[in-house]
Amino acid sequence: MKRLANKDATGKPIKVGDIVRIIGVPDLSGMSPACRAESLPVFKHLVGSYKRVYEFDESGCAWVCFKIQKGASAGLHTVGIEPYLLRVRRKARSREAAA
């Protein structure tokens, strides 16, 4: 399997420590039905949220850690997600630059 490039959905490089927005759910079709049933709600919970990348694995997936407060998926989670399902958070423009 070819290593994924550390680039987000827009082609911007992603580094360890970057804050990224999760913009999609990975293809879980290779998982067993039981694992997919457990993982899909966790990934759906992530979509639209911002998380900090703490590492990349050997296949190029970015790993994030987060906590779900309530519901059937409550608890601490660590997941790897393909970089093309992420978008690096843009830095806020200063008010002087906007004026």
Task: Give the predicted TM-score (pTM) of the model.
Answer: 0.84
Measured at the alpha carbon of residue 46, what is the angle toward residues 64 and 55, in degrees to the nearest 5? 10
C-alpha separations of 81 from 11, 28, 48 in Å: 16, 11, 14
pLDDT tens-digit map of 39-77: 999 999 999 999 999 999 999 999 999 999 999 899 999
Amino acid at 17: G
How is the chain split into domains, by residue range? Answer: 19-89
Half-sphere exposure of 73 (CA within 13 A, CB side): 17
Q: What is the pLDDT of residue 94?
A: 61
